[in-house]
Amino acid sequence: MTTTEAGAPAPSEGAETVTTDHDHGIHGYHHQKDEHLKRLRRIEGQIRGLQRMVDEDVYCIDILTQVSASTKALQSFALQLLEEHLRHCVADAALKGGSEVDAKVEEATKAIGRLLRT
Say whether pLDDT at 11 is over 80: no
Considering the four listed CATH numbers 1.20.58.1000, 1.10.3720.10, 3.40.462.40, 3.40.830.10, the one that applies to the domain covering 30-117 is 1.20.58.1000
Q: Which DSSP state fits 99? A: H
Euclidean distance between CA atoms 30 and 89, whole angstroms: 12
Report the 3 state secondary structure along 23-80.
Answer: HHCCCCCHHHHHHHHHHHHHHHHHHHHHHHHHHCCCCHHHHHHHHHHHHHHHHHHHHH
> Any bridge partners for residue 47, and if so which?
none
pTM over 0.85: no
HSE (CB half, 13 Å, CA atoms) of 10?
Answer: 7
pLDDT per residue over 52-96, tens digit each?
999 999 999 999 999 999 999 999 999 999 999 998 889 888 988
